[in-house]
Structure 1
Amino acid sequence: MAAKPKLWYFHGRGRMESIRWLLAAAGVEFEEEFLETREQYEKLQKDGRLLFGQVPLVEIDGMELTQTRAILSYLAAKYNLHGKDLKETVRIDMYADGTLDLMLMVALAAFKPPEEKEESLALAVKKAKTRYFPVFEKILKDHGEDFLVGNKFSWADIQLLEAILTMEELDASVLSDFPLLKALKARVSNIPAVKKFLQPGSQRKPPTDEKKIEEARKVFKF
């Protein structure tokens, strides 16, 4: 039996959360090793396990993978969430990359001073409403299908659901002008593996609070 993928990161969302979402959506069980001390992090570096000296780190299929988007792309291809051909794949990548850009704004805001954090999160919500969500609403309207690409659940859909739920934590009415995104949210949330990940007690992480931020600062010294 193949070993479960193992994820190395601090005990928070950050760049790892999208990886957790994708594995969960694929129905893949995974283990986590939380970095809680500077020594743990330095040992990974000393042992040459972090290609560019940073996490996320994912152990899978006899490999040690770093760089978030590369990891996500590999997992999407491995678990058949990456489209049936190159044209579908590039559209999925394009949509997922756009969503990840939005999510990165939220991840980085968590580590800013309180006044800057509030401003950055407000900007992320504004961009979700005016730049990102209108694009996805139009995609769904133009092709009239249940999912973003090829009328089949893909990496792009799960990344978008993560973004929608994150933005709703910041502004509960963020989807008020996007009926097709509301329908997509309900559709994807009811996929059994996704529904399971949304239940209490799963490996989904709550919003990163100040305690987790301070723990991360001690480990990564930023």
Structure 2
Amino acid sequence: MSGKPVLHYANTRGRMESVRWLLAAAGVEFEERIMKTKDDFQKLRTDGSLLFQQVPMVEIDGMKMVQTRAILCYIAGKYNLYGKDLKERAWIDMYVEGTTDLMGMIMALPFQAADVKEKNIALITERATTRYFPVYEKALKDHGQDYLVGNKLSWADIHLLEAILMTEELKSDILSAFPLLQAFKGRMSNVPTIKKFLQPGSQRKPPLDEKSIANVRKIFNI
């Protein structure tokens, strides 16, 4: 396949949102084939498009790629967002895994019962401010650069900004004790390609509402 990457997923953030972020930050235009029903998902399964019967799936460079981590690694490498050597790549991987852990907790919230959700919001806030964000604050201080790794934009920076914005949706002042992260957020949000993605009308997805949650439950049978 040539041309724009094609993203197959529901009309929601989920695991595909980080793929949208990375492509957008790289300045790559992409198309979306939105699954609207359970039958749409089943069709992808039965026609052999999904290696492990799961989405996200991205058609890119003649491949039908599945597994979020594999997709993101490929895009980061293809568009020079994955460091200059193995050591930088290792740091990017570590930073990305941390933000992936944090975002995974947030992504699960809409599907939890109200009492569990309330408890987990408190846990996420505590983890963000004591386990995750201190790491990135220290990294920026020790590194002394505008970016987490090397001195150029990488996947780690893009993923961290996505995580920050997701966490701020839970607690708007979550960065109050992290001045370097506040400055980082401002810098990254003004990278031209990212700034464009953050504008209304972009392919960035909003948080799930009740209607969207019901639709996701139907499509994925959860």
Per the normalisation by structure 1, the TM-score is 0.97
Q: Aligned-pair distance for 1:118?
A: 2.5
Post-superposition Cα deviations, 1:129-151, rounded to whole Å, max 9, x if no partner, equal: 11000000011111211100001
Q: Aligned-pair distance for 1:126?
A: 1.6
**Counterpart in 2 of 1:115?**
115
**Counterpart in 2 of 1:185?**
185
- Paired residues for 1:4-83 under 5 Å: 4-83=4-83
State the alpha-carbon separation in 1 of the partners of residues 88 and 30 from structure 2: 27
| Local SS of the residue matching 2:111 | coil
**Counterpart in 1 of 2:142?**
142
Identity of matched residues, %: 63
Structure 1: runs of 5+ lacking an equivalent = none
* 1:211 corresponds to 2:175: no
| Local SS of the residue matching 1:163 | helix
Q: Aligned-pair distance for 1:117?
A: 2.1
* 1:176 corresponds to 2:187: no
| Local SS of the residue matching 1:32 | strand
In the comparison of the two structures, how many residue pairs are matched? 222
State the alpha-carbon separation in 1 of the partners of residues 63 and 108 from structure 2: 28
State the alpha-carbon separation in 2 of the partners of residues 24 and 180 from structure 1: 24
State the alpha-carbon separation in 1 of the partners of residues 24 and 117 from structure 2: 29
Which contiguous aligned blocks of 4+ residues in structure 1 show a shift greater than 6 angstroms? none
Q: Aligned-pair distance for 1:108?
A: 1.4
Letter aligned with residue 52 of structure 1: F
CA RMSD of aligned residues (A): 1.1
* 1:157 corresponds to 2:157: yes
Per the normalisation by structure 2, the TM-score is 0.97
**Counterpart in 1 of 2:201?**
201
| Local SS of the residue matching 1:96 | helix
State the alpha-carbon separation in 2 of the partners of residues 15 and 116 from structure 1: 22
Q: Is the 8 A contact 2:146 2:184 kept in 1?
A: yes
Q: Is the 8 A contact 2:102 2:128 kept in 1?
A: yes
Q: Aligned-pair distance for 1:63?
A: 0.3
State the alpha-carbon separation in 2 of the partners of residues 211 and 81 from structure 1: 35
State the alpha-carbon separation in 2 of the partners of residues 194 and 96 from structure 1: 18
Q: Is the 8 A contact 2:7 2:30 kept in 1?
A: yes
Moved more, 46-55 or 80-89: 46-55
Structure 2: runs of 5+ lacking an equivalent = none
Q: Aligned-pair distance for 1:163?
A: 0.5
